[in-house]
Amino acid sequence: MQSALDPAGEEASQVATLFWVMTIGGAVIWAGVIALSLYASRWKSRPISTEAAGKLILWAGVAFPVTVLTALLAYALWLMPSLRPFANEAQACLWVEIVGNQFWWHVVYHRPDGRQVASANEVRLPVGERVEFSLTSADMIHSFWIPVLGGKMDLIPGRTNRLSLLPTKTGTYRGQCAEFCGRAHALMAFPVVVMQPGEFEAWLDARAGASAGVAADPDGAALFQRHGCGDCHRVAGTQAEGSKGPDLSHVGSRLTIGAALMANDAETLERFIAHSASLKPGSMMPPYLHIPDEELSAISAWLEGLK
């Protein structure tokens, strides 16, 4: 679900309210102007006096627009402080670091006690708690936007932008890169899961260490290393420490693969490994067509087991 007009967060609610106030206000004024021009052109056959014309211009042409536009500006400015980064610093509890890459998202959860959990291409948040995001980019300008929660905010190389969001409704939503960043820009998305705080803490605790699945299938793990996957990807608890591609620790528990490109199961994962460049044009990951099918299946099955 990805509609800024169906908000699930405080910032998006304010944006939606402003949108409706402006739309309805604009529609009422438009209807008034059309009615007035119809009246003048169809039913009012004789010209009005100079004095009446002067009053009409003063009230309808100057006083009315000045009053309405001033009120709208004041309302929009009143809404702004909470949209600004770190407006509510005192309430911050969780800090999420996001790094944009062509075409995926590096995500690190920084807990208030200093512990960190690295992940990719999915953002999970506790409901009713303000979250601060720090946003930067490893290559070019991307933009972080979760329409139902608020935003958007650019990710710029060499600079860290900040964004503060407060989710108010649990659910699974969609975020999207909102700045053209190359051929797969439209395919640079991510699921956003807003959970109950207790559920979120348990989820994060489970992802703080290595998945039990790393030891479940030694063949899959060995093939993953042998084909060089670990040079670009990290899997906690193994020798795979790469950082050029998404962190794959616990990848089996993610909702999607390829940054919200496809639903996550062993079959789509196999397809993605073999054909990443054609499924995601411009992707830095080369196609791995040379890996025999049974080895591809073993790697995918191992990755799917990393819950």
Catalog residues that contact ligand CUA under the rule CB under 6 A: 100, 103, 142, 177, 179-181, 185, 188
Least distance to ligand CUA from the beta carbon of 165, Å?
19
Give me Rg for the CA atoms of the chain: 26
262 within 8 A of 273, measured Cβ to Cβ: no
Structure tokens at 249: 């620790």
CA distance 274 to 256: 17
With beta carbons less than 8 A apart as the criterion, state whether 307 and 235 touch: no
What one-letter code names the amino acid at 25?
Answer: G
Rounded to whole angstroms, what are the CA distances from 275 to 83, 89, 122, 181, 258? Answer: 40, 44, 22, 21, 11
Q: Which of 141, 206 has the CB closer to ligand CUA?
A: 141
Of 123 and 236, the one with the shorter C-beta distance to ligand CUA is 123
CB of 100 to ligand CUA, least distance (A): 6
Of 124 and 185, nearer to ligand CUA (C-beta) is 185
The rounded distance, in Å, linking the Cα atoms of 162 and 224 is 36
Nearer of residues 107 and 236 to ligand CUA, judged by Cβ: 107
Q: Is 74 exposed, middle or buried (0-12, 13-18, 19+ CB in 10 A)?
A: exposed
What is the nearest approach in angstroms of ligand CUA to the Cβ of residue 282?
A: 10
Q: How far is the CB of 182 from ligand CUA (least distance, A)?
A: 7
Q: Which of these, 181, 144, 137, lies nearest to 158 by C-alpha position?
A: 137
Question: Taking the complex as a whole, how short is the minimal distance between the CB of residue 103 and ligand CUA, in angstroms?
Answer: 6
State CA 273 to chain mean position distance. Answer: 24
Dig out the tokens for 198 from the structure.
Answer: 């207790």
Q: Are strands 116-120 and 123-126 parallel, antiparallel or unpaired?
A: unpaired
- At its nearest, how many Å lie between ligand CUA and the CB of residue 106? 12
Least distance to ligand CUA, CB of residue 105, Å: 9
Residue 189 or 306 having the CB closest to ligand CUA = 189
If the CB atoms of residues 98 and 240 are measured against ligand CUA, the closer one turns out to be 98
Q: Which is nearer to ligand CUA, 120 or 181 (CB)?
A: 181
In the complex with ligand CUA, the residue whose CB is nearer, 124 or 142, is 142
As measured in angstroms, the least distance from the Cβ of 135 to ligand CUA is: 12
Residue listed under structure tokens 């008034």: 32
What is the C-alpha separation between 135 and 145, in angstroms, rounded?
A: 11
State the Cα–Cα distance between residues 53 and 59, nearest whole angstrom: 10
